[in-house]
Structure 1
C-alpha cells in the first residue's frame, strides 16, 4: 500500500523501511493519499507515534472524518460504522470503554494461561505434519490460528471446516477497490454473508446454552447491564475474528521471514530456546505485522511533530516506522533477540492497546519455537519472489515455502 502513498520508491511492499527512514529524518508528518481517495497524515517517529496513540483529541470514530473522506471509505463494512463497523477500533470512550469491558473479562492472563498447553500441542502437531516444501503461512500459521480462534469463539468441531473456509475468504481478500490480490472478487462479500449468518446463529445458541468461550462471556456481560446490541455483538465477534487472524498469522509469517533472512538469529534461538519470549518481542519490533495503526481523526487542532492538524483531519501512525526509530532503539535495523529495553508499539499504546496481545504472544511463541526446531530450515524460493499482502494495515508474506530436514 505504501507504493501508492510514496511514489519514487521501489520494493516498498517487501521492504518499506528505507522510505520510513527518509520520512523519519524529515521529522514532520507527511500528507499521503491512497488510490481509493482516502488520505491522511503519516506519523513515523517513535515519540510522535506513542503520543498520538494515547491522545484523546484523536478520535477512532470515522464519523468525525471530513465528508469526502467518509465517501471514499464507504463500503468498508468493518470500518465505516455501518453494519459490522461498531467495535473497539471505531469507537471512543465512553462507548469504547463499555465495549472493551464486555470482552475483557475473557482475555485475562489467568484465563489465557489455560489455553497455552492446547496451543503448544496444536503447534507441535502441525509442525510434525509438515513436509519439506511446505508453506509455513498456509500449512502452519493459518491453520494454527484458525484453530485457536475456533476454541476462543466456541465454534463446535462439526462446523469448523465451513467456518475456517469462510474466514479464509474474508481475511485473504484485499480491501474494496484495491488491486493486487488473486481470486474471485465476489468471494469476500459472499463469505461475509455466510459468516454473519452463522455467527448470529452461534450467538443465539450460546445465549441459550453458554460455554467457556468469548461469545458466551460477551453475552453474559451484556446481560449483566452493559447493553450490547445485536449489531455490536456481531461487530465485536468479527473484529476478534478478522483482526485476530490476520495479525497473528502475520506475526508468525514475518517472524519466520526475519529468521530466514538473519540465520545468525535463527541459530541463536536454536541454541538458546529459553529466549523465545524475548525473541518474539524483538521480531514484533523488527517487522511489525500491523504496519499502520487504524485511522484516527483530529477532534480539534492537534500539533504533531511540528505540524498542526486541523480538526477532522485523518491520521495514520506507522507502527513499523516507529519501531525502527534510531532515537529510541539502538541498531534498529538488525534483529537482536537478546534486546532488553523493547517498548515496541506493535500492539499499540494507550486505551486502544490490543486486547488480544497476550493471546497473539502465546500463539507466536508456540509457533516460532516449533519453526526454530525444524532442522536445516531454508527458503524454498528466492526471497525476492515472495508475494506480499495488499493491505493498508497488516503486513506479511502471502505464503512462505521452506525446505528443511
Structure 2
C-alpha cells in the first residue's frame, strides 16, 4: 500500500466530520468495525470503530507504537530524535523503564499531596473569571481557566518559569493543529530548542522538581539517554497540559448543554466524581488513540491487517458504541458502566490520570460553586471547534454572566 493508491480509499475526515465526528463514526461503525481509509494527508490507515475491538487493540502486543514497525502508512509527526524517544513511541522493556523513572511523581498519593496546590490555582483562575464576569464583561473560559490551569500545574512540577509556560503551549498547539506546514515545522523546531535550553539551565542550577530528578537519573545513574530525557519532558509538558485543557473546555460545553443534569450536580456535589467519568466518556477530546503498527498480520473485526500497516483505534467511535453503552449518544451522569477508554488501557494507560482527574474535578466544582450564573455567550452550536482526526475541542469558549442563574447556566 502506498500513498498513491490511497486516493481510492474512503476519506471520512472532511466537512461532515468537522461538523459532527460522532455521526461519521456512527455511520462507519454500523457498516463494520474496521475500515481502510485515507487521512487528510492521503496516508492509508485502518480505522477501528467497535468498542470491543478498540479495547482489545489497546492491549494487543502485535500492535506496536514503535515507528520501526511502520510500513508506508501514517507514522505521525516527523520529530527529531530528541523529541521522538518518548513513551508514546516505545513498547515493552524500554517503555516500562522510562515509565518507572517518572511514575513516582504522578502516583495517586503524590497527586493527593498536590491537591491543595491545585485547589489554590483553581481558585485563583476562577476568581479572575468571576471578576471579569461580574464587571459585565464577556470572558473566554479557555483563556481564563482551561488553558492556564494545567499549564501552571505541570509547569510548577517541572519548575518552568510562568512567563515561558504560555509560549510553550502555543508551540504545542501549533504542532497539534497547525494552520500550515510551515507552522508545524517551526513549532517543532521551537519546542526542541526550548527544551534543550531548559535542560542546560536546570543542569547548571538543579532544584527539587521532576525535571531535575530526571536529569540526575540521566547524568548520575545513566538510566536513560539524552534523547529519552528531552522526549520525556516534551511528552509530559505537552500532553499533560493540552489534554486537561481540552477536557475542561469540553466538559463545560457539555454541562451547559444539559441543564437538568447540571442542576442535579449543583444540588448534590457528591455526584461530581461520577459526572467526571461520564464526561471523560462522552466528551473526551481525543478521538483516536496514538497510531499503532501491525508487527505481523492481525485479524481485527474479521479483517486481516497486513504487517507494517497503520492502525487507528477510534476512541470517539468506541465511546458511542451501543453494544457497550446503552443510549451512548446521551450524556448521563447516572450511567452505570463508567469503564471508558479515555485515559488509555493496558501498558499505555495515562501516567497522569490521577493528576488529570483532580484538575478537572476541582475546576468543575469551583465553577458550580462560584459561578452559578455563567452561560455561553452563544448557543452550543455557535462554539468554534478545532476538529482533527486526533482531537476535538473549542478554540475559545466565550461566557457571560446571566442576569440571574437559570437552569441552563453553570
Please give the TM-score of this superposition, normalised by the length of structure 1: 0.88
Q: For 2:56 and 2:169, locate their aligned partners in 1 and report how far apart those are by CA, in whole Å.
A: 35
Secondary structure of the residue that 1:36 maps to in structure 2?
coil
Q: In the alignment, is the contact (CA less than 8 A) between 1:23 and 1:44 conserved in 2? A: yes
Cα distance, 1:186 vs structure 2: 5.3
Q: For 1:145 and 1:86, locate their aligned partners in 2 and report how far apart those are by CA, in whole Å.
A: 23
Cα distance, 1:239 vs structure 2: 0.7
Secondary structure of the residue that 2:386 maps to in structure 1?
coil
Q: For 2:222 and 2:62, locate their aligned partners in 1 and report how far apart those are by CA, in whole Å.
A: 25
Cα distance, 1:197 vs structure 2: 3.6
**Partner residue of 2:71?**
66
1:16 pairs with 2:25: no
Cα RMSD after superposing both structures: 2.3
Q: Which moved more, 1:216-225 or 1:347-356?
A: 216-225
1:381 pairs with 2:378: yes
Cα distance, 1:44 vs structure 2: 1.1
**Partner residue of 1:400?**
397
Pick one of 31, 51, 55 that aligns with 1:26.
31
Q: For 1:258 and 1:14, locate their aligned partners in 2 and report how far apart those are by CA, in whole Å.
A: 16
Cα distance, 1:194 vs structure 2: 4.5
Deviations 1:134-161 (A, max 9, x none): 1111221101111111111122xxx321
Pick one of 228, 244, 254 that aligns with 1:258.
254
Q: For 2:373 and 2:278, locate their aligned partners in 1 and report how far apart those are by CA, in whole Å.
A: 23
**Partner residue of 2:6?**
none
Cα distance, 1:385 vs structure 2: 2.7
Equivalent pairs, count: 386
Matches within 5 A, 1:138-153: 138-153=143-158
Secondary structure of the residue that 1:268 maps to in structure 2?
helix
Q: In the alignment, is the contact (CA less than 8 A) between 2:72 and 2:309 conserved in 1? A: no
Q: Using a 3 Å threshold, how does the CA distance of structure 1 residues 195 and 34 change in structure 2: closer, same or farther?
A: closer
**Partner residue of 2:362?**
366
**Partner residue of 1:5?**
11
Cα distance, 1:192 vs structure 2: 4.4
Q: Using a 3 Å threshold, how does the CA distance of structure 1 residues 13 and 369 change in structure 2: closer, same or farther?
A: farther
**Partner residue of 1:168?**
169
Structure 1 residue ranges without an equivalent (≥5): none
Q: For 1:172 and 1:69, locate their aligned partners in 2 and report how far apart those are by CA, in whole Å.
A: 20
Deviations 1:341-385 (A, max 9, x none): 211000111101111111111110111112223122221023223
**Partner residue of 2:52?**
47
Pick one of 316, 324, 330 that aligns with 2:312.
316
Q: Using a 3 Å threshold, how does the CA distance of structure 1 residues 212 and 332 change in structure 2: closer, same or farther?
A: farther
Please give the TM-score of this superposition, normalised by the length of structure 2: 0.87
Deviations 1:154-179 (A, max 9, x none): 22xxx321x12321321222558x6x
Pick one of 136, 148, 151 that aligns with 2:141.
136
Q: In the alignment, is the contact (CA less than 8 A) between 1:247 and 1:394 conserved in 2? A: no
Q: For 1:324 and 1:390, locate their aligned partners in 2 and report how far apart those are by CA, in whole Å.
A: 17
Deviations 1:271-322 (A, max 9, x none): 1112221111110101111110010000001111111111111000111111
Q: In the alignment, is the contact (CA less than 8 A) between 1:377 and 1:404 conserved in 2? A: yes
Secondary structure of the residue that 1:31 maps to in structure 2?
strand
Q: Using a 3 Å threshold, how does the CA distance of structure 1 residues 98 and 33 change in structure 2: closer, same or farther?
A: same
Deviations 1:36-56 (A, max 9, x none): 132211111111000000000
Secondary structure of the residue that 2:46 maps to in structure 1?
strand
Structure 2 residue ranges without an equivalent (≥5): 1-9, 403-410
Secondary structure of the residue that 1:115 maps to in structure 2?
helix
Q: Using a 3 Å threshold, how does the CA distance of structure 1 residues 396 and 166 change in structure 2: closer, same or farther?
A: same
Q: For 1:402 and 1:318, locate their aligned partners in 2 and report how far apart those are by CA, in whole Å.
A: 31
Secondary structure of the residue that 2:88 maps to in structure 1?
coil
Q: Which moved more, 1:215-224 or 1:336-345?
A: 215-224
Between structures 1 and 2, the one with greater helix share: 2
Cα distance, 1:390 vs structure 2: 4.1
Matches within 5 A, 1:208-287: 209-222=205-218, 225=221, 227-287=223-283
**Partner residue of 1:114?**
113
Q: For 2:206 and 2:125, locate their aligned partners in 1 and report how far apart those are by CA, in whole Å.
A: 30
Q: For 2:220 and 2:348, locate their aligned partners in 1 and report how far apart those are by CA, in whole Å.
A: 24
